[in-house]
């Protein structure tokens, strides 16, 4: 083949035109270089983007007068056997990581099947990965302690030192630039995204914070029950059972580690209240009595409206009127009430059983 008639002058890169259809990569129309070996012409490709294996590359003479044989016949711009599929060059990447609830393992998912050697052979080994931690108090061994494989997801064992406090960022990468390959022999980079996860906090709740939260929950509970007694005057069974407030003691605290539970039957009716709970009830009574003395009828009307009173509220004075008092509560045996918690009562508090 010649670039001119008369069988003279070798072909040049500009005698060819290149194009791509499909895939993600593109190509410059003119080859970047040319080398000749007999009737074989090697053309350089200037690609933009990384071929994903779906690109069809086509090469033709750049014009009807670009290429001639020795008899001055011009090569047509319409050819067959002039297309080829580009080789996929997208390296495998880590697409996600998930740590187990107990921080014992981490799941690492790849974008495609990967191997420990080229040629699409050899299952990955634990040594093909490197682990690191930043932040927090726990540390991790650089090499996973184990590996299990399920499709494109690799579960790596974590050898941790210290107790994670939830501030540790665990990162996993290929152990080297030649550690992990896909079927097309593309190596996974040691620079990855989507390859980090935060360890779970295993330190447990702060004891002082738990005690304070629990005591506040008990105080709130007692206050609401006292409002119920003073404003509505329910029977003691309703008080213990939670009538009007959507449930009994059990579960009243929501996320609090403490629950107040009642049990018992009509034959064995007894109850127990801690001194701290009694103090909460007494404080509620004193507060209401003080407001009523200061504001008179206005306070009484507001109290009645706020708590949907069935009758005008009265301060509890210890008399034997309709409204139950702590003294009357202690005297009425209907349920057995226990504080289901190992958290200590406030300093100075004692347990009273009545």
- The tens digit of pLDDT for each residue in 243-271 reads 444 344 443 334 433 344 434 443 443 33
Q: Are residues 222 and 329 in the same domain?
A: yes
**By C-alpha distance, which of 25, 164, 138, 35 is closest to 90?**
25
Q: Are residues 342 and 223 in the same domain?
A: yes
Is 7 contained in some domain?
A: no
pLDDT at 323: 45
pLDDT at 282: 60
Q: Are residues 338 and 216 in the same domain?
A: yes
Which parts of the chain have pLDDT scores under 50? Answer: 234-276, 309-354
| Residue whose token pair is 């004692």 | 350
Q: Are residues 104 and 74 in the same domain?
A: no
Q: What is the chain's length?
A: 354
Q: How many domains does the chain have?
A: 3
pLDDT at 59: 98
Q: Are residues 218 and 152 in the same domain?
A: no
Does the pTM surpass 0.75? The reply is no
Which domain does 178 fall in, by range? 94-198
Is 160 contained in some domain?
A: yes
Q: Are residues 260 and 182 in the same domain?
A: no
Q: Are residues 332 and 268 in the same domain?
A: yes
Dihedral Cα 11, 13, 16, 21, nearest 10 deg:
150
| Residue whose token pair is 């983007």 | 49
Q: Are residues 155 and 238 in the same domain?
A: no
Is 157 contained in some domain?
A: yes
**By C-alpha distance, which of 313, 333, 331 is closest to 322?**
313
Phi, psi of 108 (to 5 degrees): -120, 120
DSSP state of 210: H
CA distances in angstroms from 90 to 54, 173, 352, listed in the order given: 11, 17, 74
Phi, psi of 125 (to 5 degrees): -115, 160
């Amino acid at each position: 083949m010649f670039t001119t008639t008369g069988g003279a002058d070798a072909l040049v890169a500009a005698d060819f035109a290149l194009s791509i259809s499909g895939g993600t990569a593109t190509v410059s129309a003119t080859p970047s270089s040319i080398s000749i070996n007999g009737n074989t012409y090697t053309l350089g490709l200037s690609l933009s983007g990384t071929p994903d294996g779906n690109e069809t590359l086509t090469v033709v003479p750049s014009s009807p007068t670009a290429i001639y044989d020795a008899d001055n016949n011009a090569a047509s711009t319409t050819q067959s056997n002039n297309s080829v599929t580009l080789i996929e060059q997208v390296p495998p990447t880590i697409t996600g990581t998930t740590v187990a609830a107990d921080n014992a393992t981490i799941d690492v998912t790849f974008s495609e099947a990967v191997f420990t050697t080229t040629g699409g052979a050899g299952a990955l080994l634990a040594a093909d990965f490197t682990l690191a931690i930043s932040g927090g108090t726990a540390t991790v061994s650089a090499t996973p302690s184990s590996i299990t494989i399920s499709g494109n997801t690799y579960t790596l064992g974590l050898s941790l030192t210290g107790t994670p406090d939830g501030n540790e960022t665990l990162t996993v990468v290929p152990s080297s630039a030649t550690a992990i390959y896909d079927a097309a022999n593309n190596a996974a980079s040691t620079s990855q995204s989507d390859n980090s996860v935060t360890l779970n906090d295993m330190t447990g709740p702060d004891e002082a914070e738990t005690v304070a939260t629990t005591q506040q929950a008990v105080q709130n509970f007692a206050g609401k029950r006292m409002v119920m007694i003073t404003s509505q005057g329910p029977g003691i069974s309703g008080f213990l059972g939670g009538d009007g407030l959507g449930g009994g003691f059990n579960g009243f605290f929501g996320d609090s580690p403490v629950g107040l539970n009642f049990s018992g039957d009509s034959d064995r009716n007894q109850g127990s209240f801690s001194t701290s709970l009694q103090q909460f009830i007494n404080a509620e009574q004193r507060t209401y009595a003080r407001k009523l003395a200061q504001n008179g009828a206005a306070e009484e009307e507001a109290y009645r409206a706020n708590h949907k009173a069935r009758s005008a509220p009265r301060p509890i004075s210890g008399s034997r009127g309709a409204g139950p008092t702590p003294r009357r509560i202690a005297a009425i045996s209907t349920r057995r009430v226990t504080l289901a918690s190992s958290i200590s009562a406030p300093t100075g508090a004692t347990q009273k059983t009545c």
